Structure 1
């Protein structure tokens, strides 16, 4: 076999084998954005030196909270700082230079959903950042009938991210292979 022929076979083999390579879609963690208050969260609203105006209040399903002397305030979708500013502005009519602090006492609105062939499908609260592997663990793992090669992460905006479970557990760089979930994402295990 001549040098040219051997070289040609080597190039052909590289092309064929290169086509067999598998690349996992890396989904970066969601950016660190300020927390936005959600429905069913519980807030600790404190007015400095005025315990009568301070309250621990739940965010109602319509997104509002009720405070004495302030009334109804839309909380859902705002950051704690934005809500502080709105409450402070409303209190200026009755309190001289009000100092308001809003602390998210309980995070109940941020959930991920896992459905399909898992031991315990359902909604799971997000405590910080959650990966696909962590969500699957919260759901008790796969049933015997799960198609682990066809997982789907459906984002809150409706876009789907297909995932093969084998890629998550076999790649050397687990951090890059894993998929980060955001509030409202749904994991479907067919």
Structure 2
């Protein structure tokens, strides 16, 4: 009797394990959804089935399409006036022989194939593009499409009490203070509260004493004076 009683618990355990093995379905976990998946396709759908793990199938592999890159044109002041020393990127759509980088020469013009010299001094990039378009339409290209961008600006000049006076490349958003830094900083005798700035615009050349935080433009001349005490 004691041996029979000992066998009974083992039978119950075996029956319970057999029921668990045959009663549950196959288990599979869905791979986690990445940030790019969420942006491109939205949130992952909830797994089908009644239970938490019941009937879960692995997520199908997705084919990723290349995202188009957004193109941003270089920012510039639409009222900026071109002059000698500016380098321009001129694109004539569909015309590889005309699309190129052109420098404005000392006479204030650029020279392009087919149309020759085109005056650029004092014009805005948009105005120059309109003139090139009109010249190309006059017997060369039926419907030309032209874009003009500033590839690099003409240099600025800094003189007087700085470590290295001279001409330096201009970059957008420069100030008089950053120009002094580019030139190696003030000399020991420099006046540091203001400078003389010469700036050209539609009215002509303007010369004035300005503080160090004054914005600097292409072609401007900065004169750092000497202090007397």
TM-score by length of 1: 0.66
Q: Which has the higher contact order (CA 8 A, sep 6+)?
A: 1
Other-structure match for 2:196: 153
Once the two structures are TM-superposed, the CA of residue 33 in structure 1 deviates from its matched residue by: 5.1
Mapped to 1, the partners of 2:206 and 2:182 lie a distance apart of 23
Alignment of 1:164-175 (within 5 A): none
Q: Does 1:79 align with 2:124?
A: yes
C-alpha distance 60-95 of structure 1, shift in aligned 2 (>3 A): same
Mapped to 1, the partners of 2:95 and 2:210 lie a distance apart of 53
Moved over 4 A (4+): none
Other-structure match for 1:18: none
C-alpha distance 180-104 of structure 1, shift in aligned 2 (>3 A): closer
Mapped to 2, the partners of 1:76 and 1:158 lie a distance apart of 18
C-alpha distance 180-52 of structure 1, shift in aligned 2 (>3 A): closer
C-alpha distance 33-95 of structure 1, shift in aligned 2 (>3 A): closer
Once the two structures are TM-superposed, the CA of residue 48 in structure 1 deviates from its matched residue by: 1.3
Query: Larger C-alpha radius of gyration, 1 or 2?
Result: 2
Contact 1:38 1:110 in 2 (8 A): no
Equivalences, count: 143
- Per-residue displacement from partner, 1:94-121 (whole Å, max 9, x unpaired)? 21111111122222x241x222221111
- Per-residue displacement from partner, 1:106-154 (whole Å, max 9, x unpaired)? 22x241x2222211112222211222221211111122222435x4323
Q: Structure 2 stretches of 5 or more lacking a match?
A: 1-76, 200-204
Mapped to 2, the partners of 1:83 and 1:41 lie a distance apart of 13
Mapped to 2, the partners of 1:75 and 1:87 lie a distance apart of 10
Q: Does 1:181 align with 2:216?
A: yes
Other-structure match for 1:23: none
- SS of 2:223's partner is strand
Other-structure match for 2:97: 52
- SS of 2:186's partner is coil
Mapped to 2, the partners of 1:36 and 1:120 lie a distance apart of 28
More strand by share: 1
C-alpha distance 114-84 of structure 1, shift in aligned 2 (>3 A): same
C-alpha distance 53-143 of structure 1, shift in aligned 2 (>3 A): closer
Q: 1:129 aligns with which of 155, 169, 173?
A: 173
Q: Does 1:98 align with 2:144?
A: yes
- Per-residue displacement from partner, 1:9-41 (whole Å, max 9, x unpaired)? xxxxxxxxxxxxxxxxxxxxxxx5533222122
Q: In angstroms, what is the RMSD of aligned CA positions?
A: 2.1
